[in-house]
Amino acid sequence: MQSQPETLGLWGIAVALAGGAMRGSIPYMFVSLGECLTEKSGKINLGMEVILLMGAVTAFGVSDVTGSPWLGVLAAALVGMTLGALHAWLTQQPSVNDVAAGIAMIIFGSGLAFFFGKRFVAPMAPQLPLIDLGSWSSAGAIRSALRISPLFFIGIALAFALHWIFTRTSWGLKVRAAGDDPQAARALGINVNRVRFIAITIGGALAAIGGAHLTLYFPGIWSEGISGGQGLMAVALVIFAQWSPRRCLAAALLFGGAQALGPSLQSLGVNGYYHLFNASPYLLTLGVMIATCTPHRRLAGMPGALGRK
Amino acid sequence: MTRLTRREFAAGIAAAGVGRAAPSPPPALTVGFIYNGPKNDLGYNQSHAEGRQALRVLPWVKAVEEASVPETVAAGESMRDMIFQDGASVVFATSFGHYDPFTIDMARENPGVQFFHCGGLYDERKHPKNIGIYFGFIDEVEYLSGMLAGLATRTNRLGFVAAKPIPQVLRNINSFTLGARSVNPHATTKVVFTGDWVLPVREAEASSSLADQGIDVLTGHTGSPRVIVQMAERRGLFGCGYQFNQSSMAPHGFLTGAEWAWGTVYLKIAEMIHQGKSVTNGTIPRRLAGTLKDEFCKLSPFGPSVTPASRARVAAAKASILNGSLEIYRGPLRDNEGKIAIPAGKVLKIEDTELDRMDWLVEGVDGRAKG
């Protein structure tokens, strides 16, 4: 409907990957940062998949009812906190296994999300405002790739903030101590259970904000299939990133870009092997897992007491 | 004395004429519907749920439904519940994967119940007689929708986001493209396959990369192409829907779309059963298939940017399809590798089974039918 848009040819792949990285990375970024915080404290939360889903459904519903997408994000964070707190409480009961509790949360939470999601008949909720950095360009592809969600910048800032907290603050030290050696931490007078509870709760809030991105920007609808395993992928991504928030950021960008590879190659006329290209984020995960894991040594950066009481 | 449940007690009272006469007779026919996904997907499942709504005009029908029934043993359980708890004597299973073996097994277990399945592959020798198959041919509506796309495009490039290269999807890509090229011979269609029916993030990513390539009309064939239509709107392009009316996703750029009208089928079958007919004894046809003419499918209402001249051209083509003078699969047609797909002089009717084995993409489509 505008004037004839310029096409970018092969540069289109680079633009598509960069654009895809900035759009598609956001859920991975928030979930992996949340999971990074959780695991640094020594706990595993597989329920991130469903916190992402509940965040998505809550943000959509609240944005639709109140007309304010930012209230939607806030409400999603609160729901994420509640689910995180529930997981924290569950996994601190004697002889409750983190992984089993996480799987139970996935089943419970997806039922809950679908139950609330049924009520939404509105096709779209008010979307988050975007930051337009591409108005200098005449190419539609570049303009569109550079319309960036504010959550993208918040996510980057969070990754660096989290790194600073882990390395420079006493609470960060307590989180790491709780995750590496809870016995020693207790001996130092740290209330390990409380530190972990707070870490898991905040982690849940972060993951749910990632869900808000799904319904309030990209793709911008509510659908039961909206999370599509991204929450679980992000948990794997934390291992990939060796429990470093800044590496989580890089890994999330890589995954977001990889997600755009299959569709953009096809739209450029590379018609074969699309199943292979579409699978590239998963192949990437497998490849890095194989490269970084050996049975002989502990993973670099892995919290010493991960998954233990 | 044996214990009586409240329901048995009430029934006994009623039978003895003690209770008051009911104000209206109870519905004579209970039918059950199962859908694979949510009823509000603005896509395939919602098209069936809306078809069920059409039965409300018949006071003697009670229609129960269950959404998000997976294509597993859960489908069988869901049908069993409808039969034994709700007293359903007719079950509509709407998703392709509900058929084999779940609908077949249930039909064998419950010979007194009639089962109708959307699009299943019925085998006379193996499958029980109380199963009927219904489906629709939507190619002609895709053709009309493609015409509007061909008239609207400025770049002559159309985009089609498709789930899988199965015959039904290829038919839609081809008929959409044939429609577009009937009014604009320079128009081409670029296809991107996502790999599955419901992948909202990948569909959005695919639509976005098509837009980056200068495509200015987007459509698709997925469980619900609402993401595709919405992405077209966001990028300032035109969008054509599929499965259900998606005009709400694109208030400016929506052109039209091909949507199902299952209400026609459900009303027809309910009326036949009410008259005492049954698929088991052959008084209801085993296969009930329909086209645009039979109102099994329809064109979505036109969007605001469709000009009166375009409307007139589509209306004229629709009239020609209805009176039989326009056949969309008329040879000679070449596929996009240059081979003859339908030779000159040959016309394939829309119901022709040869079309159900389609494995080619027509000239003008940029894409590959085999993954």
CATH number at residue B19: 3.40.50.2300
How far apart (Å, rounded) are the C-alpha atoms in residues B203 and B228? 6
**In the prediction, which pLDDT does B13 show?**
46
**Using a CB-CB distance cutoff of 8 angstroms, which residues of chain B are in contact with residue A220?**
204, 227, 230, 234
**Using a CB-CB distance cutoff of 8 angstroms, which residues of chain A are in contact with residue B371?**
272-275
A220 neighbors A280 (Cβ within 8 angstroms): no
Range of the domain at B109: 6-136+262-290
**In the prediction, which pLDDT does A294 show?**
65
φ/ψ region of A118 (left if φ > 0, alpha if ψ in -120 to 50, else beta) reads: alpha
Q: Is B371 a member of any domain?
A: no
At A5, which helix (H) or strand (E)? none
- How many residues are recorded in chain A? 309
CA angle A116, A119, A122 (to 5 degrees): 125
Is the CB of A7 less than 8 angstroms away from the CB of B213?
yes
Residue of B nearest to A228 (CA): B199
- Do B227 and B309 sit in the same domain of this protein? yes
Is the CB of A228 less than 8 angstroms away from the CB of B200?
yes
- Do B34 and B74 sit in the same domain of this protein? yes
**Using a CB-CB distance cutoff of 8 angstroms, which residues of chain A are in contact with residue B38?**
114, 117-118, 223-224
Count of CB atoms situated within 10 Å of the CB of B166: 14
Is the CB of B216 less than 8 angstroms away from the CB of A225?
no
User: Does the pLDDT at position B21 exceed 90?
Assistant: no
Count of CB atoms situated within 10 Å of the CB of A153: 12
Q: Is B198 a member of any domain?
A: yes
User: Does the pLDDT at position B55 exceed 80?
Assistant: yes
- Do B224 and B357 sit in the same domain of this protein? yes
How far apart (Å, rounded) are the C-alpha atoms in residues B198 and B31? 28
User: Residue A21 burial by CB count (10 A; 0-12/13-18/19+): exposed, middle or buried?
Assistant: buried
* Strand residues in A143-209 grouped as ranges (E): 147-148
Is the CB of A259 less than 8 angstroms away from the CB of B198?
no
From residue A222, give the alpha-carbon distance in Å to each of B195, B200, B265: 20, 9, 29
Average pLDDT of every residue of chain B: 92
**In the prediction, which pLDDT does B197 show?**
94
**In the prediction, which pLDDT does B28 show?**
84
- A interface test, pick of B45, B209, B227, B233 with most A CB neighbours within 10 Å: B209
**In the prediction, which pLDDT does A8 show?**
61
Is the CB of B200 less than 8 angstroms away from the CB of A5?
no
- Do B131 and B143 sit in the same domain of this protein? no
- Do B114 and B244 sit in the same domain of this protein? no
What is the CATH code of the structural domain delimited by A11-120+139-292? 1.10.3470
Is the CB of B154 less than 8 angstroms away from the CB of A259?
no
Which residues in chain A come in under a pLDDT of 70?
Answer: 1-9, 121, 292-300
At B66, which helix (H) or strand (E)? strand B61-66
Question: Which runs of consecutive H residues, i.e. helices, occur in B54-95?
Answer: 73-84
**In the prediction, which pLDDT does B141 show?**
98
- B interface test, pick of A146, A270, A271 with most B CB neighbours within 10 Å: A271
Is the CB of B224 less than 8 angstroms away from the CB of A223?
yes
Question: Locate tokens 């779940």: which residue?
Answer: B102
Structure tokens at B28: 């004579």
User: Does the pLDDT at position B74 exceed 90?
Assistant: yes
Is the CB of A228 less than 8 angstroms away from the CB of B199?
yes
User: Does the pLDDT at position B17 exceed 50?
Assistant: no
CA angle A133, A139, A143 (to 5 degrees): 25
**Using a CB-CB distance cutoff of 8 angstroms, which residues of chain B are in contact with residue A269?**
190, 366
B90 neighbors B113 (Cβ within 8 angstroms): yes
Is the CB of A4 less than 8 angstroms away from the CB of B212?
no
How far apart (Å, rounded) are the C-alpha atoms in residues B42 and B40? 6
Q: Nearest Cα to B371, choosing from A279, A44, A139, A28?
A: A279
User: Does the pLDDT at position B324 exceed 50?
Assistant: yes
Q: Is B1 a member of any domain?
A: no
Q: What is the pLDDT of residues A133-149, one digit of tens each?
A: 988 888 888 888 899 99
Count of the separate structural domains present in chain B: 2
**In the prediction, which pLDDT does A12 show?**
73
Say which DSSP state B249 is in: G
Exposure of A290 in the CB half-sphere (CA atoms within 13 A) = 5
Say which DSSP state B336 is in: T
Structure tokens at B158: 């159309």
Exposure of B66 in the CB half-sphere (CA atoms within 13 A) = 21
What's the sign of the alpha-carbon dihedral A67, A69, A70, A72? Answer: positive
User: Does the pLDDT at position B369 exceed 90?
Assistant: no
Give me the mean pLDDT over the B351-358 stretch: 92
Question: Strand pairing partners for B91?
Answer: B32, B115
pLDDT tier for residue B9 given thresholds of 50, 70 and 90: very low
User: Residue A55 burial by CB count (10 A; 0-12/13-18/19+): exposed, middle or buried?
Assistant: buried
Say which DSSP state B250 is in: -
Residue of B nearest to A273 (CA): B371
Give the one of B37, B194, B214 whose C-beta lies nearest to A224's C-beta. B37
User: Does the pLDDT at position B20 exceed 50?
Assistant: no
- Do B24 and B57 sit in the same domain of this protein? yes
Inter-chain contacts counted by CB atoms under 8 A, chains A and B: 156
How far apart (Å, rounded) are the C-alpha atoms in residues B156 and B183? 11
At B20, which helix (H) or strand (E)? none
Is the CB of A12 less than 8 angstroms away from the CB of B212?
yes
CA distance B19 to chain A (A): 39
**In the prediction, which pLDDT does A149 show?**
95
User: Does the pLDDT at position B47 exceed 90?
Assistant: yes
Q: What is the pLDDT of residues B99-120, one digit of tens each?
A: 999 999 999 999 999 999 999 8
Is the CB of B368 less than 8 angstroms away from the CB of A272?
yes
Give me the mean pLDDT over the B261-289 stretch: 96
Is the CB of B191 less than 8 angstroms away from the CB of A114?
no
Give the one of A221, A266, A273 whose C-beta lies nearest to B200's C-beta. A221
**In the prediction, which pLDDT does B360 show?**
96
**Using a CB-CB distance cutoff of 8 angstroms, which residues of chain B are in contact with residue A141?**
211-213
Q: Is B322 a member of any domain?
A: yes
- Do B94 and B16 sit in the same domain of this protein? yes
